[in-house]
């Protein structure tokens, strides 16, 4: 009988040990699941924060760009007779006036001839002449003269290509080239 009691007690202790082990594994699983759930919540929060940061950055970028453009315009401005010339590149468009016999004859018809930058277009030339000289431009014609092949010290060489603009001014307006920029 005592053996039966011992066996029953051993079975009961085994059952209680099994229950404890099962409870521990369940607790571990629940702890692991809780940790996983907490990690997921942390990930979701981090994603939400990064999304919010991205949205605020995206909203701030256009404002910063507009502000930078305004600052750039005020920083690069050049004063000419009290007026502010917005674009400093206008001075790069027109290199110098061309004073030749043909250009002098064209001046009688209200035209002025300039040597211009090779990459400048007609709109650039018109804007530059209007802003730098304070006159109204009616028309701009451009001419690209290819450089000739010449011999330099017995070796064949190539002169640079030149580009000039013939600017037609509005009736009654003129540019005094001898005085230079105003």
Contacts by 114-117, CB closer than 8 A, 24 or more apart: 114/164, 114/165, 114/167, 115/162, 115/163, 115/164, 116/142, 116/163, 116/164, 116/165, 117/92, 117/93, 117/163
Distance CA 83, CA 81 (A): 6
Residues with Cβ within 8 Å of 159's Cβ and at least 6 positions away in sequence, in order, are 147, 148, 149, 150
- Bridge-partner residues for 116, per DSSP? 94
HSE of 175, CA atoms in CB hemisphere, 13 A? 30
pLDDT tens digits for 123-178?
Answer: 999 999 999 899 999 999 999 999 999 999 999 999 999 999 999 999 999 888 77
Q: Please report the pLDDT score of residue 130 as a whole number.
A: 92
Q: Phi, psi at residue 31, to the nearest 5°? A: -65, -45
Please check the confidence at residue 180 and state whether its pLDDT lies above 50.
yes
83-169 CATH: 3.30.70.330
Q: Please report the pLDDT score of residue 25 as a whole number.
A: 58
Of 49 and 170, more confident: 170
Distance CA 72, CA 19 (A): 76
Most distant CA atoms of the chain, gap in Å: 140
Q: Please report the pLDDT score of residue 72 as a whole number.
A: 54
């Amino acid at each position: 009988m005592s053996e039966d009691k011992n066996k029953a007690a051993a079975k009961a202790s085994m059952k209680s040990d099994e229950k404890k082990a099962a409870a521990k594994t369940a607790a571990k699983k629940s702890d692991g699941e809780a940790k996983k759930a907490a990690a997921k919540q942390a990930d979701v929060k981090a994603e939400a924060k990064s999304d919010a940061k991205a949205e605020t950055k995206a909203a701030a970028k256009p404002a910063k760009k507009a502000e930078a453009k305004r600052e750039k315009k005020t920083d690069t401005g050049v004063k000419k007779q009290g007026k502010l010339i917005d674009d400093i590149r206008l001075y790069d468009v027109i290199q110098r006036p061309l004073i030749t016999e043909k250009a002098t004859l064209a001046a009688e018809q209200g035209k002025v001839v300039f040597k211009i930058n090779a990459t400048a277009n007609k709109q650039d030339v018109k804007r530059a002449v209007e802003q730098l000289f304070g006159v109204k431009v009616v028309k701009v014609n451009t001419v690209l003269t290819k450089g000739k092949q010449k011999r330099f010290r017995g070796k064949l060489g190539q002169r640079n290509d030149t580009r000039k603009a013939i600017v037609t001014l509005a009736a009654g307006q003129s540019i005094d080239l001898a005085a230079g920029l105003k």
